[in-house]
Structure 1
Amino acid sequence: MPIDDLLDSGLRMLITSMVDNAGLTRAKTVPAARVRTAARDGIGLSPVFALMCTDDAITTSPLVNGPVGDNRLMPDLDAAAPLGPDRTVFWAPADQLSQDHEPVGICQRSALRRQEARAVAAGLEVKLGFELEFTVFSGSREEPAVATLGPAYGVLATLELETFADDVLAALEVAGVPAEQFHPEYAQGQVEVALPPASPLQAADQSQLARLVIHRVARQHGLMVSFAPITVAGFVGNGAHIHFSATVDGESFDGLSEPARHLMAGIVRELDGLTGVLAPSVLSADRRKPSSWAGAYACWGVENREAAVRYVPGSVTGRPGSANCEIKIGDPSGNVYLSAAAVLAAAVNGLEHELTLWPGYDRDPSTYPEREQPPRLPLTVEDALVAFERSAVLRSALGDEIVEPFLAVRRHDAATLGVLSLEERVRALRWRY
C-alpha cells in the first residue's frame, strides 16, 4: 500500500512484526508520524532475536554473536493491512535486513521468498492455504474457562460465538483475508478458520495477519484466544494445516498427475524432518497421537485424515483445479514462514529428482497389522529436531544461519519446559501463542 494511501486512511499506528524461531510474533510499533522514516530506514532489531526462546530466555549459537550487531526490521508496506474496520491500526510483516539493507541469513521471511523463487524457476505455480485452529476462552488468564461446551461442530456452539464470529469475519474481510470457513471444531471452545489459497509468501503473511485479527477481536469481546498446540490438558490440540497445490507446466494436482506425485513424494520423504519445523514445541508430540486426525504416521492417503499427507481430489463441481494435498502434522507453534519454506523445499526436491510416491493408505494406519503399518513420526520433540538437523534437503534450503539458531532455541525449550508435566507445559505455553 502506498504510504500516502496508508496515512490518508486514518492510520494512528503501524505494528510491524517478525516471527522468531520460537514461533512467537515479535513486534515494534511506530506512530503515523514515523511511518515514512520506518519505511525508508527500517527499525533497529538485534540479531539476538534469532535466539529468543519460548520463555523469553536468550540462548546461544556460534552463528549469532550475542549482543553484538544490529539489523533493520523493514516493514513490507505492500502487504500492510488494517486490523479492524476503523482502519486506525495497521499491520505489516517485516523482513530482517542488514544496515546496508541486504537480506540477512537469519531472516525467516527471506528464506520463504528464496524457496518461492526456486519453485517458480522449476516451472511451478504454487498455492498454499492455511487452516488455523484455536481455542476461545472466557474468564481470566489465571482462571480461564472454555467459551463453549460443544457439541463438537455444533450449531449451538456456533450461536454462542455468533457475535464474535461475525466481527472476526468482518475484520478479516477488511484486512483482505476473507475467510473461506469458520466453525466450531471437535474440542470444547475450539474453532477453525480456513484462509483463502494464495502464493506462498502471501499465504504465510495472511496466516500471521489472521491470528492478529482474531486476537484483537477476542479482546474487544472480553474473550481470549490461544493458538497453542494444546490449550487444555486432555483436550484435542490445535493444528495449523497447510493445503498445497501446484500447476507444473499446465498440469495440476487433479487426478494425481505425474508432477503432482513427484511433489507429494518429496513431502512424504521428508516428513520426519518437516515435523521438526512444522511441529517443534514441547507440546507438539502430545498433540500428534494416533487416531486423533493429527497425522501421526509417515504416509499419505486419498482423503485419509489420519495420514500425515492427505490427498484431496476436490468436489466434482470444483474440478479441474480444486485438488490439493493437506499436510496435517503442523501446529501453530511453528514459524509459518519456515514451515512454508520447508514444505516448498521438500516438494521441489521431489520434482527435481522425480521421486516415486509410495503407495497410499486407505484407512487409519493404526488399524493395519503392525508389520504393515507405516513408520510413526518422531515421538518426542528431541527426535523431531534430530531428524530436521540431519535433513540435507531442509538444511540446504534454509541455510545454517537459520537452522543452527532454530535448533538452539527449540532445544532450550526441550531442556527446560520439556521436563515439566503436561499440565505445567500447557500452562507455560497457553498464552505464548
Structure 2
Amino acid sequence: MSSHPQTIRVAISDLNGVMRGKRLPGDYALKLAKGAVQLPLSVINVDVTGADIEDSPLVFETGDADGILVPTGRGPVPLPWLDSDQPLYPMELRRSRDTPFEADPRTALRWVLEGFTRHGWTVQAATELEFTLVDDAGHALGPVRNPLNDRPVEMAEILALGHMDAFDSFLTDLYTGAQEMGIPAQTVTSESGIGQFEITLHHQEALRAADDTWLFKELIRGMARRHGMAATFMAKPFEDDAGNGMHVHFSIWDADGRNMLDERTPEGQARLDGAIAGSLAAMEGATLIYAPHANSYARLVPGAHAPTSICWGHDNRTAALRIPRGGPETRRLEHRVAGGDTNPYLVMAVILGAALHGIDKGLTPPEPITGNAYDQDCPQLAPDWATAIERFETCPIMAEIFPPLLRDCLLRCKRQEMEVMDGIDPDAHWKTYLDTA
C-alpha cells in the first residue's frame, strides 16, 4: 500500500451493514480528521436496494442535513482484491465532529461497550463467519464450479481437505489479503453446504472484532470475484441446502486480566448467570437483528442446524446459546443465532447489551438443556419477518439497548423492504441479497 495513493475511499456502515461512502483524491487523507468529508445523515437509513426510506425522519425532520465523517482509527486499510492502490478509511457518521449520530450502527456498539467500561471491564469477542461460493452468471443462482474441472459442485464436503484443495488458490489469497488488512483470520473449514466454508477470526477487543468482521465480509466478496466466483452471506442461498450463520463468542475481563465470568467465585457465577439470562430474555425481541431479511427466515427452520429455540446448554450446538468446553478461567459464551446476512455492529450491540442487561438486573437463567433442542418445548424466536419487526418494536430490552432514532430508522427500513420484497418473485430474491446481505 503506497504512502501517497492517487485516490482513497471512505465508508460507513448503513443499518444493513452495506458500505456507503465516497472515492476521493489521495490528499484528502490529511483532511479526514478535520471533518472535511460529509454525507447526508439519511444515507444510514436506505433500504437494502439502496433506495431512500420514504418516510425517514432523517429527511423530513432534519431537512436531509449532512453529517460529518470521522475516522474510526481503523484505517487506512488496503483492498487487496482491487488492481489499483486505493486504501479504505472506515468512518463513523456524526452530527458534528464532537456530536455522535444516534443512528450510526458503530456508534450504537460503542455506547453498549461504554456500559462495560463503567464497570471497569472490557469485552473480548470473535466471530465465525459462514459463506457460500456460488455461480451467479445465469438467470438462477447456481452452485459454484470446481476450479480444477469447471464442473458445478454437486455435494457438501463436510470438513473435507480435498474440497479445500480445489479452492486453494482462493483461500490462500483470502488469508494473504486478511493479513494485509490486519484481520486475524484463523481456521477455515469446509462446511455442510454446497460450496460453503467457515472462517473464524481471533478473539480481540469487541469493537475491533466488529470492524474486522465488517471488513472481512468485503474481502471475501471481493476476492471471490477476483477468482471468477461470487461469495454470498445470504442466510439461505439454496432452498434445500445449509444456511449461513455468524456465531459470536464473547468474554468479559477486568483491568487485572481476570475473567468476570469465572464461576469459581459467587460473583463470577452471578455474572455468568446474568449474561446467560439476559441473552435469552432478549432473543425474541432481537430476532430482527439476527434475521434482518426476507431470506433470513428460510434458515430459521427447526432441525436445519440453525437454532430456533431460546435455550442454552453446555457444549450443545443445537442450543441458541452455548457454553463451550474450557476451564472457568477462560469461560466464554457462544451466541449462535445470527445469520451471515447481518450487520456485525448491530449483532454485537444487541448480544452484548442483552448480556449486560442480565448482569445489571441480576437475572437468573432457566436450567440448561441436554440433548436435542429441537425436540424440547422451549420458547421460540420470532417465526417470520413481520412478527420480528413487531417484537423488536415492542421489546423493552431493545429500547434499553438502542437509541430511539436508530430503532425508528430500522423499523421504517424493514417495513419498506417487506413491501419491496413482496413485489419480487421469491426465486429472484437472490438478485437483491447476493452482494448486500
RMSD, aligned α-carbons: 2.3
Query: Match of 1:25, as an amino acid?
Result: M
Q: List per-residue Cα deviations over 1:203-226 (Å, max 9, x = no partner).
A: 110001111221222222122111
Q: Distance in 2 between matches of 1:411 and 1:165?
A: 38
Provide the TM-score with structure 2 as the length reference. 0.89
Structure 2 residue 247 is the aligned partner of structure 1 residue 257? no
Number of equivalenced pairs = 419
Q: Distance in 2 between matches of 1:327 and 1:356?
A: 18
**Cross-structure match for 1:361:** 369
Choose the corresponding residue for 2:221, options 215, 219, 244.
215
What secondary structure is seen at the aligned counterpart in 2 of 1:134? strand
**Cross-structure match for 2:117:** 120
Q: Distance in 1 between matches of 2:136 and 2:429?
A: 20
**Cross-structure match for 1:51:** 45
Choose the corresponding residue for 2:410, options 406, 409, 412.
406
Q: Is the 8 A contact 2:127 2:209 kept in 1?
A: yes
Q: Is the 8 A contact 2:259 2:331 kept in 1?
A: no
Instruction: Report the Cα offset of residue 239 of structure 1.
Output: 0.9
Moved more, 114-123 or 54-63: 54-63
**Cross-structure match for 2:149:** none
Structure 1 residues 170 and 141, CA gap change in structure 2 (3 angstroms): farther
Q: List per-residue Cα deviations over 1:378-415 (Å, max 9, x = no partner).
A: 11011112121112222222111100010100111122
Structure 2 residue 307 is the aligned partner of structure 1 residue 295? yes
Query: Match of 1:212, as an amino acid?
Result: E
Q: Is the 8 A contact 2:11 2:21 kept in 1?
A: yes
Q: Is the 8 A contact 1:82 1:174 kept in 2?
A: yes
Structure 1 residues 251 and 99, CA gap change in structure 2 (3 angstroms): closer
- The gaps in structure 1 that reach 5 residues or longer are 1-5
Q: Distance in 1 between matches of 2:353 and 2:240?
A: 34
Structure 2 residue 31 is the aligned partner of structure 1 residue 31? no
Choose the corresponding residue for 1:430, options 422, 430, 434.
434
Instruction: Report the Cα offset of residue 92 of structure 1.
Output: 2.6
Instruction: Report the Cα offset of residue 132 of structure 1.
Output: 1.0
**Cross-structure match for 2:89:** 92
Choose the corresponding residue for 1:388, options 386, 392, 408.
392
Q: Distance in 2 between matches of 1:139 and 1:420?
A: 18
Instruction: Report the Cα offset of residue 78 of structure 1.
Output: 4.0
What secondary structure is seen at the aligned counterpart in 1 of 2:204? coil
Q: Distance in 2 between matches of 1:234 and 1:419?
A: 23
Query: Match of 1:30, as an amino acid?
Result: L
- The gaps in structure 2 that reach 5 residues or longer are 145-152
Q: List per-residue Cα deviations over 1:102-161 (Å, max 9, x = no partner).
A: 211221111111111111112332111111111112462645532244322222211111
Identity rate of aligned residues, in percent?
22
Q: Distance in 1 between matches of 2:36 and 2:347?
A: 25
**Cross-structure match for 1:3:** none
What secondary structure is seen at the aligned counterpart in 2 of 1:89? coil
Instruction: Report the Cα offset of residue 322 of structure 1.
Output: 3.8
Instruction: Report the Cα offset of residue 240 of structure 1.
Output: 1.3
Choose the corresponding residue for 1:11, options 5, 19, 44.
5
Query: Match of 2:77, as an amino acid?
Result: A
Instruction: Report the Cα offset of residue 61 of structure 1.
Output: 4.1
Q: Is the 8 A contact 1:183 1:191 kept in 2?
A: yes
Q: Distance in 1 between matches of 2:136 and 2:50?
A: 25
Moved more, 24-33 or 77-86: 77-86
Q: Distance in 1 between matches of 2:85 and 2:167?
A: 25
What secondary structure is seen at the aligned counterpart in 2 of 1:245? strand
Matching of residues 163-178 of structure 1 within 5 Å: 163-178=169-184
Matching of residues 93-172 of structure 1 within 5 Å: 93-138=90-135, 140=137, 142=139, 144-147=141-144, 148-149=153-154, 150-172=156-178
**Cross-structure match for 2:285:** 273
Q: Distance in 1 between matches of 2:118 and 2:55?
A: 33
Matching of residues 61-76 of structure 1 within 5 Å: 61=55, 63-66=57-60, 68-76=64-72
Structure 1 residues 139 and 288, CA gap change in structure 2 (3 angstroms): closer
**Cross-structure match for 2:243:** 237
Provide the TM-score with structure 1 as the length reference. 0.90
Q: Is the 8 A contact 1:264 1:357 kept in 2?
A: yes
Instruction: Report the Cα offset of residue 195 of structure 1.
Output: 0.7
Structure 1 residues 25 and 164, CA gap change in structure 2 (3 angstroms): same
Structure 1 residues 375 and 419, CA gap change in structure 2 (3 angstroms): farther
Q: Distance in 1 between matches of 2:431 and 2:177?
A: 29
Q: Is the 8 A contact 1:72 1:98 kept in 2?
A: yes
What secondary structure is seen at the aligned counterpart in 1 of 2:43? helix
Matching of residues 366-381 of structure 1 within 5 Å: 366-368=374-376, 373-381=377-385
Instruction: Report the Cα offset of residue 31 of structure 1.
Output: 3.0
